[in-house]
């Protein structure tokens, strides 16, 4: 597939700014990102690129910044393979969990090894929010608990939850690319108890869950917290990430308005994961 490389020049060029920019670009079809000395390189399939959407995104950008961009067509080749080989490195968490792809040589012994073929999608474990969510899962007793993973991406969180005993597991993502990639990754890891669905919170029906994961973004979370609460069992846990520490008051207010009780938060580089209980 032919890709377009878009170079965003950002002032100021901070990690917070480029993280927010990449998250929003992901919502309009961009598939991979590389931080640069001047800002961010972003890659999108040629048929998906809409300059009008890019211009609107920058016009509505929530942070104070000056962002300009230029773009160029790239050579038609297997960019998924190139991205994996050059940018996707194994992720190790406390010598307990290792996330890797088939071309990696893994040394050492780990309690959990997850094999994924990321296809330039989010959820390889490198982002702070994914690591925060995984650390919470590693601390929890998931044995026999039903679990919902909203915005599952590569399904790495759903796969880890299944490995730790959660069952049944439902994983949902609105993106068709992520949906098919999640199915492939579940198969690669021999996981057969994940029910994968393509869509959003509108898919939630009568089935309820003991644990709900939602690593999305602030606006979607604020919109969908009522839907999550409707399908959360009594004494269930809602774990949310994809936002900054400064967003906790808004997230907490929305959750408490639905009868949820705030537990705690954890933080990496201003990104946070917040935990709520339904009593």
CA-to-CA separations, 4 to 1, 13, 41, 150, 276, in angstroms, rounded: 10, 22, 10, 29, 41
Q: Both 144 and 271 in a single domain?
A: yes
State whether 27 and 159 are in the same domain: no
Cβ neighbours for 71, distance < 8 A, ≥ 6 positions apart: 4, 5, 6, 7, 49
Tally the domains of the chain: 2
Per-residue pLDDT of the chain in tens (279 residues, 90 and over written 9): 678 889 999 999 887 888 889 888 988 988 777 788 899 988 888 889 999 999 999 999 988 899 999 998 876 655 555 555 544 566 778 888 888 776 556 666 788 888 887 554 444 445 788 889 999 999 999 999 999 999 998 899 999 999 999 999 999 998 887 888 899 999 999 999 999 999 999 999 999 999 999 998 888 899 999 999 999 999 999 999 988 899 999 999 999 999 999 999 999 888 899 999 998
Same domain for 256 and 158: yes
Other beta carbons less than 10 A from residue 249's beta carbon? 9
8 Å CB contact between 232 and 209: yes
Does residue 208 lie in a domain region? Answer: yes
Could you tell me if 187 and 245 are in contact, meaning their C-beta atoms sit under 8 angstroms apart?
no
38/144 same-domain check: no
Q: Which residue has 């597991």 as its token pair?
A: 169
Domain that holds residue 181: 136-278
The residue from 35, 54, 77 where one domain ends is: 77
Q: Is 41 contained in some domain?
A: yes
Domain assignment present for residue 206? The answer is yes
Q: Residue 35 maps to which CATH number? A: 3.30.70.100
Q: Which of 26, 54, 77 is the last residue of a domain?
A: 77
């Amino acid at each position: 597939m032919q890709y377009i490389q878009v170079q965003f020049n950002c002032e100021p060029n901070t990690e917070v700014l480029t993280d927010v920019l990449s998250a929003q670009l992901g919502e309009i079809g961009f598939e991979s990102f590389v931080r640069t000395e001047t800002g961010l390189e972003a890659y999108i399939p040629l048929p998906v690129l809409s300059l009008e959407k890019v211009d609107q995104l920058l016009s509505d950008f929530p942070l104070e910044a000056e962002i300009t961009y230029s773009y160029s067509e790239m050579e038609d080749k297997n960019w998924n393979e190139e991205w994996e080989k050059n940018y996707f490195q194994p992720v190790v968490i406390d010598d307990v969990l290792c996330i890797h792809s088939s071309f990696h040589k893994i040394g050492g012994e780990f309690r959990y090894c997850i094999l994924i073929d990321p296809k330039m999608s989010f959820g390889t474990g490198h982002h702070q929010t994914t690591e925060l969510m995984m650390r919470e899962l590693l601390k929890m007793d998931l044995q026999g608990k039903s679990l919902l993973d909203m915005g599952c991406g590569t399904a790495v969180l759903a796969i880890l939850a299944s490995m730790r005993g959660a069952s049944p597991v439902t994983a949902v993502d609105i993106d068709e690319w992520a949906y098919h990639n999640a199915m492939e990754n579940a198969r690669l890891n021999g996981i057969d108890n994940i029910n994968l669905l393509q869509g959003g919170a509108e898919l939630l029906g009568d089935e309820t869950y003991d644990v709900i994961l939602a690593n999305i973004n602030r606006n979607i979370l604020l919109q969908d917290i009522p839907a999550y609460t409707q399908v959360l069992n009594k004494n269930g846990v809602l774990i949310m990430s994809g936002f900054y520490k400064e967003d906790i008051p808004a997230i907490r207010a929305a959750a408490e308005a639905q009868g949820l009780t705030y537990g705690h938060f954890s933080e990496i580089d201003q990104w946070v994961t917040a935990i709520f209980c339904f009593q």
